[in-house]
Each structure stands twice: as structure tokens, then as C-alpha cells.
Amino acid sequence: MSYARKLLARGEEITFESGQHWFAVVGRSWWAIILAILALAVLLFLVNPPEASLDGPGELVALVLLLVALGRITWVIWGWRNTEFLVTTRRIIRAEGILNKRMSDSSLEKVNDAHLTQNLFGRIFGFGDLDILTAADELGGIEDFPLLADPVDFKIAMLNQKELLERPDLAAPAYQRQQAPSMRPAEPMSPRAGSDRVTRIDEGAGAPAASSPAPAAASEPPATPAAPGSAPGTPAEDATATLERLASLRDRGLITAEEYDAKKRELLERI
């Protein structure tokens, strides 16, 4: 586990991780690379034929120089691999060092500005120098990230995380964010047969809106009162009028066909 990851606070997560470009190894050990090539060439020239020994002073000096150059290159690579540049949910972290660790961090809330410098080779090979200005610069805050790998992505991740800290509503998932209420009007539901609720049905422009409670399945519609002075009708006439009213209710969709047939059989049995 890396050294910087061990120092994360509770609930703190890494959003972007980078380090120095491999050009940093070349820049710090270029003389060792040249020395190693020259020493190796001298050894190959002096030790010829292959069965010759390394007892001569020239061979020993070349061997020592080769070991020193390889040791320097190894040390630089080791330090390069232990350099970490992190963007977390709270801060920016820079950790480096092999035996003696050095770590500096700054809260994202204190970041004031960031300057990115990339030359032609930096744009081609993907590295650059990122200078971060914070409110604590005079107190020893983070100042720069030299030869930073993927500097554009690092800067974007830093700015995005800073915005999330300043605007916590952006950190919530999309389905949890407040959305504007829909202005689309609700569509009216069609009347359901047998419903006991009052439903208003618009039957066209100029048509009156009729609302009436749906009759119960087994209840008999109220009989039409007889006119004064007229004789009451026969049971067959009453049944015929009732069936006509039930057929009208069935055609209008206020009762089902099964309810109509059941009532019809009941009326026919009474005659």
C-alpha cells in the first residue's frame, strides 16, 4: 500500500492519482545513463577475447563506474516510483521520498488558482508543470507539481472536486437531485363500468356535462312516479319500462352486460 493512501482521513477517497512522467528519470540520471553506456563499451572493448579476465586496472575502473551509474539510475527510479500526486475528495496530496518521506497537502477549499505549463514535448508525450496557488502559500503550502504526468486530467479532476465541495448538491446522484416539476396536464381517466364515483364526461363542444352516480349491480332503478289521476300500469308494462331503462344504462356503459342480463332474468321471473 502506498504511503499517501495510509494517511487518508475517514471517509476520504481518491478521485485521481498521478505521478511524475518518466522524463523525470531521464532528467535526474542522464549523466549516469551516459556513464553506464561508456563504461559498458569500455568493458566490451577491453575484455576481448571473451576468455580474458578483469584483472587489469582499466577493466576494474570501468566496472566500478558501471556499478556506480547503475546504482544512481536504480535510486532515481525508486524515488520516481515513490512520488505520488493525488486528488482526493477533500484535498491535494504530494508525497515523495524513499527512506525519509515528505508529504504536503492542501485543502481544496483553499485552492485559489492553478497554472499549467506545457511545452511542445510536454504536449506530445503528456507531461507538464502545474503550479497551484493556495491561501497557505506563504505558510509553506503546495507550490508546484513538476513534470506531472497527465497534467490536464489532473487539473480538471481538481477543479471538479473543488466545485463539488462548494456546491454539495452536484455531488448527489442524478436521480436524487431536485428536478423541475412537469407542467404537462394530467389526462382524464375514462369512466369504469360499475364505478360508484361521479365522473364528468365531456361529449363534445356544446354538449352538457352529465354526472350521475352509477347504480349498484343488484339495486333496482327507482320507478318513475305515475302522473296524478292516471292508473298504475300492469306488471308487464312496468317490467318493459324497467328493461328499457336498463338497456339505456348498458348502452351508456354505466352497467355491464352481465348485470343487465341478471336483472332481465329477475324481472321476467316476476311476471
pLDDT digits (tens, 9 = 90+) for 61-108: 888 999 999 999 999 999 999 999 999 998 888 888 888 888 888 888
SS3 170: helix
Q: What is the pLDDT of residue 235?
A: 67
CATH architecture of 9-171: Roll (2.30)
Domain with CATH 2.30.29.30 in the chain: 9-171
Mean pLDDT computed over every residue of the chain? 75
Q: Which three cell numbers stand for residue 271?
A: 311476471
* Distance separating alpha carbons of residues 222 and 196, to the nearest angstrom: 17
* Distance separating alpha carbons of residues 46 and 59, to the nearest angstrom: 7
* Distance separating alpha carbons of residues 170 and 180, to the nearest angstrom: 15
Q: Which pLDDT tens digit goes with each residue over 165-183? A: 887 766 555 555 455 444 4
Q: What is the pLDDT of residue 56?
A: 66
Q: Which three cell numbers stand for residue 67?
A: 556499478
Contact 125, 24 (CB under 8 A): no
Q: Which pLDDT tens digit goes with each residue over 24-58? A: 999 999 999 999 999 888 888 776 655 455 556 77
Maximum mean pLDDT: which of 150-154, 190-194, 209-213: 150-154
* Distance separating alpha carbons of residues 199 and 188, to the nearest angstrom: 10
Residue partners of 209: CB distance under 8 A and separation at least 6: 200, 201, 202, 203
This prediction has a pTM of 0.55
